Amino acid sequence: MGVALFLALAYSQLALLLLLVPIFSAGSITIEKEQRTLAGLLTSLLTSADIWWGKFVSSFLFVLLLLVTSLPVLSMAFAFGGIGPWEIFSATLTTVIVLACLSAVGLYCSSAFQHSVHATAVTYATVVAISVVTAIVFFVRLQMYESAHESISTRGWYGIPLNIRAPMYINPFFFLTASFAPPKQLYPAWVTCACVFIIVGAVAAILTLRNLRRRGDL
């Protein structure tokens, strides 16, 4: 019962936070454009990196605060057994990486669009693409592969060809699922997912800085 409760809370928490991330991050820079204060911000003593960091921290801390406040609820699973500190830690760390990546993506959308509604819509579309579309593509391709070849159900996850399971490495729910493995089994699934999310977040940050510098040169 403790395991079932923990899994339900962990997946529900991630889904809720995925819905909240675009609200806090996608409007961080567009609101400056709408209020015509971005030009003054870019001509101040702050560098583009300082502006990005301030916007990132302010948006990320909102969802991080929600995550921290939910930890006592997750810890309720201790009372029913089957869950230890490692599962709580790994699930929390995984959720933090996902939220940081999507906050960076939301900031990029905020720097690329003029209005908050457009940036928020594109950020939500990105969340749906990585969490829903990737799962649909995976299961459709898996069914097609199984119909053309022998069943792979007995060979496990790594019995699936890499080109079929590759989309799941950007799926936040699969990333969370991989975090439930024992520490010695985190590689390669969890480590691969972590690297993918960190790279996506870093690329989004670099593109956001480029957009801010371009505006500063105008």
How do residues 16-74 score in pLDDT, each as one tens digit? 999 999 999 999 999 999 998 988 888 888 899 999 999 999 999 999 999 999 888 88
Asked if residue 194 lies in contact with residue 93, where contact means CB atoms within 8 angstroms, the answer is no
Q: Can you tell me the distance from the alpha carbon of 203 to that of 197, in angstroms, rounded to the nearest whole number?
A: 10
181's tokens:
């493995």
pLDDT, position 93: 96
Q: What separation in angstroms does the CA of 60 have from each of 11, 19, 28, 111, 197? A: 19, 13, 11, 16, 15
pLDDT, position 218: 47
Q: Can you tell me the distance from the alpha carbon of 147 to that of 123, in angstroms, rounded to the nearest whole number?
A: 35
pLDDT, position 148: 77
Alpha carbon 110 to its chain centroid, in Å, reads 16
| Lowest mean pLDDT, pick from 33-47, 163-177, 194-208 | 33-47
